[in-house]
Chains A and B, each alone.
Chain A
Amino acid sequence: MEFTDLQIQRYSRHIILPEVGGKGQKKLLGARVLMVGAGGLGCPAGYYLSAAGVGTIGIVDDDLVEISNLQRQIAHSTGTIGMPKAESAKKTFEALNPDVKVIAMKGRLTKDNIMDIMKDYDIVIDGSDNFPTRYLVNDACVLARKPLVSGAILRFEGQVTTIVPHEGHCYRCLFEAPPPPGLVPSCQEAGVLGVLPGVIGALEATETLKLILGKGEPLKNTLLIYNALAVSFRKVKVPRNPDCPVCGQNPTITELADYDAGYCQR
């Protein structure tokens, strides 16, 4: 493809970078990224990926926009309250950049649909708000050998990590199984500073762009933890676990399961 004059203007600050250039920008325009969730993390991550010209963005989200989301979920607005989040985000992202094709999917990922949805994408971004989805996405990405950028937030602290299956750790190397229902509070119970998912979502977008461009060091075997109150970024080493139930030498998880028994779905 050849750039149009408008594309040259839109992406000029990328094209100038030696690490991106016209070639890198074309990779971005040809890339296909699946976002799990269009909430606190998915909104800023998708917003920046759209601005960057990532050509195809799939969004899976089951929720409708509520007024309580708007303190942090910046792709939605007062005018889209009641609309499916995937549709609301699509509207925002496509308005920002008409080069981006957004595929909005209102629904939940399950063991029965995730592989079929994921197969059309190069990279998955997890911005989900619950453990059943987080583990399902991890297991699916490991089984399909698809890179996964994973983020999580609560109160004033967030974390991000990049999973390149069989090259680095996976989520189960870090936490082998989901915590029992009720042990870990949700944002709904514990609260979250509205800007915090902006920081973590932007880091997820950064990791995704690096993976597409093939530049820099991904957060492989590493968990990056940001604390907004202390203003600290901590990198914690996460070695691969040879006994990991999904990516270890003798995996016990060889097919997908749903883990939602007992969990609150909100």
Chain B
Amino acid sequence: MIRINHILKELFRNIFRNPGTAFGALLSLTLLFLLFDIFWVAAGTSEQFYDDLLYDLQMEVFIAEDAEEISLSQTKEVLLRIEGIRSVTYVSKDVARQQLIDLVGVDLLVGYDSLNPLPRSWQLTFASEYQTRERLDAIEREINTFDDVSHVQYSRNWLEKAERTKSMILDIGMVLGLLILLTALFNSANNIRLMARARAVGFYQMRLIGAGKLFLALPFMLEGFLMSGISAAAGWGLLYYWKGKIEFTWLEIIFPAVDDIILFCLATAVLGVISGYFGIRRLLKV
């Protein structure tokens, strides 16, 4: 108990003897974590935006001209049984004509009422986990083997670009996130090292009297824990404050789940403990 009291006393002595350094460290760590948080929110928001775009992704299965109406209902059943297909909507020649009118604004087929050249088709939508180029290509290949089908079409190029962009954002996010966390680790360790260096003589003496490394390091490790944890929480606090102030009508800002935020703050606090130990490690070699 007495040792715990001593460790806590040392912890607050560290902070209150160097309030400027402690406050500076807190500010710089908050700024770093805020950057990380902003990127996390941006990644979540763009992921949601991407998912919304993909939700409307359709594959058009054009029906052969000579296909009988009777066999079409059977083919539709087969299509619905294919894994990953969420819905199958039949588009008759008339509906296709109406869609064309909606698209271009005028009826291009005036005078061809009895001879509508537009093909019949099925419009397919997919479960979210199947909205990848690889899986859609596999489905496309399978459907192309059906007798009633003339050809299949979907926005492969668009999907390819979208996938590439998403992967790029993720890669950059990973690298940036790692860099920010490493910077936070070194920043925190350096601040603690500077505070500890001023007390090097004291450490030397305490070691000579028989103080253990952990006993001396614990106040600094706790300091790292507090500094990092508080900075991480402050970063999220600022973001939530701004979220209440700023509103986007065209984009929904997606924040991580509260559980994830709590886990993140705890993880940064643990990182702070490690940086606290690294900050003081060299001074304990007596």
- A and B bind: no
